[in-house]
Amino acid sequence: MTMIFDPGNGPVNLILSKLHLIDSSVFFLGNGRTALATSSIIWIWKWTGTSLIYWIASLQSIPLELYEAATIDGAGVWGKFKAITVPLLVPYSIIIFVLTLSDAMKVFDLMLTLTGGGPFFKTEVIELFIYRHAFTSSVPRVGYASSAATIFGLIFVAITLVQALPKRREGGR
């Protein structure tokens, strides 16, 4: 992935220079101002396909009879969207949001391979903080790492509990 953003001969720099959007090569992953934005764009691109599948599945779960009944009642496109689609997508929206949030908390592999937490710790996430303090520093600070891991675990458990709330409201287990 880092080869795509290579300042010398990476395709992103070549395309941007051919389109005359940049004058000189940009070191997307080595510059503190662009590294986090570039990593975020990569994560969004990675997650977009899965998110679209969730949205399409939730849209397909809405019974067509509701739209037919609304058409018979004289509702237009906007009325159907407002009265049928949006209310029925709210539970799915919450679940998709929580799944996206929980996936956003698991970016260790992406940040480690793209930037290693650099430059100057601009892209360091909590997992990289734990990894760096526990395993890669010259003097391991296991206490820092375990404290950060505990806090991260508690946040993750809270998100999981929030994810379980819509199921509990519907009467599921």
Residues contacting residue 90 through CB under 8 Å, at least 6 positions apart: none
> What per-residue confidence (pLDDT) applies to 54?
95
pLDDT (tens, 9 = 90+) of the chain, 173 residues, equals 788 999 888 999 999 999 999 999 899 999 888 999 999 999 999 999 999 999 999 999 999 999 999 999 999 999 999 999 999 999 899 889 888 888 888 899 999 999 988 888 889 999 999 999 999 888 889 999 999 999 999 998 988 888 777 666 666 55
* 140 vs 133: CA distance, rounded Å: 6
Tokens of 23: 């004058």
At the topology level of CATH, where does 48-169 sit?
MetI-like fold (1.10.3720)
H or E element at residue 130: helix 126-131
Domain boundaries, the chain: 48-169
Residues contacting residue 23 through CB under 8 Å, at least 6 positions apart: 17
Burial of 31 per CB tally in 10 Å (0-12, 13-18, 19+): middle
Residue recorded with tokens 């809270």: 158
> What per-residue confidence (pLDDT) applies to 149?
95
Residue recorded with tokens 């070549």: 14
* 153 vs 163: CA distance, rounded Å: 15
Q: Radius of gyration of the chain from Cα atoms?
A: 22
> What per-residue confidence (pLDDT) applies to 120?
87
> What per-residue confidence (pLDDT) applies to 48?
93
> What per-residue confidence (pLDDT) applies to 78?
96
> What per-residue confidence (pLDDT) applies to 2?
81
> What per-residue confidence (pLDDT) applies to 82?
95
